Amino acid sequence: VPTPFGNPAAGVSPPARAQRADAATNRARILGAADEVFGEGGPAASTEEVARRAGVGIATVFRHFPAKADLLDEVLARRFERLRERAGELAGAAEPGPALFGMFTEMVSDAPGKIAIADALVDAGGDTGDSSRVAQAAGELQQAVGVLLARAQAAGAVRADVELPELYALLAGMSRAAAHGPRDPAVWGRALGVVFDGLRGPG
Amino acid sequence: VPTPFGNPAAGVSPPARAQRADAATNRARILGAADEVFGEGGPAASTEEVARRAGVGIATVFRHFPAKADLLDEVLARRFERLRERAGELAGAAEPGPALFGMFTEMVSDAPGKIAIADALVDAGGDTGDSSRVAQAAGELQQAVGVLLARAQAAGAVRADVELPELYALLAGMSRAAAHGPRDPAVWGRALGVVFDGLRGPG
């Protein structure tokens, strides 16, 4: 509700304001802890461990997120949103080719945690359908990556006949492979290098 | 036990020989059915469905494969062995570049079923450790693919600085992605085309 003073907290008594600030801090800590805990443990990780790592009681977690799926939905959507923001930053880069390849590399690095959280969300009965918040955030990321691709192509850094669906198939492939077991980072670097050479095109 | 006649079945009475031939036929039918059933259904598929599709009783399945893991172990190892045979055939091809890329494409096409069977094997408590039959068969396939890579490089069809680990990382990536949800085959064709261009090398 807007107030005559333009500050939504202006009509709130100081103790209530402090309580609200505490609640926001707790919520942020819970989300940060959940990102780590489910990113590492996937469906096997527990909300209790999230509470422990956030330094709050389990009741506080449930007050903010009544169901495990609510928490995971928020965590996963935020992952996509962070990546979309990163893509937005890179859309202003002076060199569109390295910007696209940098984004690709970041998305693959992010993938093991993201896939673990997505598996936990599915396991918790969360909504991942086409109209879910997660699907919407994923769609917005894909659009932002499409902008990077178009810029890289306009700059002649990526072959003109590559389209977003195959770029995403390559991203999904490298992401899924990265999520399955640790591997030598040097091997990954060379594998990505092959993909990027392919994207640059023959000759 | 070798016989003086050089034919192991020579000392066996005709009815016993017929019985043995029946058993071999049943075993082959069970393996063929299991390859399909677990390749489609993964851990959710049942041995009962295998028996039904093979046209034998469930007791016959258990006589040949006392545990579900025994059956899955055999099915998965045979998948790797078939691919290794295919690689062996392609090692004699006149054009080593297309031979390697053809093998890569076949392995990615084979991947969804293979991953489903591997998931079922793990779910059934099967052995997939380094000294397991499956791991051995997978290792032999990798060696055979290494031969195709070396031939393609010797022919100048693939850049000289690509090594087997990154080729396998690319294979694993495209295979895992192919296993997750159906996609437009045209998109897959273009994604693989990007990888192959990258393997050919810049210019």
Q: What was the pLDDT predicted at B195? A: 95
CA distance, residue A26 to nearest chain B CA (Å)? 36
- Asked whether the predicted pLDDT for residue B156 surpasses 90, the reply is yes
- Check B194 against A166: CB less than 8 A apart: yes
- Check B197 against A197: CB less than 8 A apart: yes
- Asked if A94 reaches chain B (Cβ–Cβ under 8 Å), the answer is no
Yes or no: say if B191 and B174 are a contact pair by the CB < 8 Å rule. Answer: yes
How far is A128 from B170, CA to CA, in rounded Å?
A: 28
Question: To which H or E segment does residue B185 belong?
Answer: helix B185-200
Rounded to two decimals, the ipTM of the complex is 0.80
- Check A180 against B180: CB less than 8 A apart: no
Percentages of chain A per state (helix, strand, coil), in multiples of 5? 75, 0, 25
Yes or no: say if A191 and A174 are a contact pair by the CB < 8 Å rule. Answer: yes
Helix (H, G, I), strand (E, B) or coil at A17: helix
Q: What was the pLDDT predicted at B45? A: 96
Q: CA angle at residue B148 from B142 to B149, to 5 degrees? A: 85
Q: Please give the average per-residue pLDDT across B144-168, as a whole number.
A: 96
> Given its phi and psi angles, is residue A201 left (phi above 0), alpha (psi -120 to 50 degrees) or beta?
left
Q: What was the pLDDT predicted at A3? A: 45
- Asked if A160 reaches chain B (Cβ–Cβ under 8 Å), the answer is no
- Asked whether the predicted pLDDT for residue B131 surpasses 60, the reply is yes
In Å, the largest CA–CA distance within chain B is: 68
Pick the residue with more confidence: B116 or B187? Answer: B116
Q: Which residues are CB-neighbours of A83 under 8 A, at least 6 positions away?
A: A106, A107, A110, A141
Yes or no: say if A199 and A162 are a contact pair by the CB < 8 Å rule. Answer: yes
| Closest CA in chain B for residue A186 | B166
Backbone angles phi, psi at B66, to 5 degrees: -55, -35
Give the tokens for residue A27: 């919520």
- Tens of pLDDT, residue by residue over B60-101, are 999 999 999 999 999 999 999 999 999 999 999 999 999 999
Q: What was the pLDDT predicted at A64? A: 96
Q: What was the pLDDT predicted at A2? A: 43
Burial class of residue B36 in the structure, from the number of CB atoms within 10 Å of its CB (0-12 exposed, 13-18 middle, 19+ buried):
middle
- Contact list, B198 vs chain A (CB under 8 Å): 193-199
How far is A11 from A69, CA to CA, in rounded Å?
A: 34
What residues of chain A score a pLDDT lower than 70?
Answer: 1-14, 181-182, 203
- Asked if A166 reaches chain B (Cβ–Cβ under 8 Å), the answer is yes
Burial annotation B49-81 (CB, 10 A radius, 16+ → b, else e): bbbeebebeeebbeeebeebbebbbbbbbbbbe
- Check A187 against B165: CB less than 8 A apart: yes
Residue to substitute from B107, B142, B194, B196, interface A, most A β-carbons within 10 A: B194
How far is A50 from B65, CA to CA, in rounded Å?
A: 44
- In terms of Cα–Cα distance, which of A30, A195, A41, A34 is closest to A115? A41
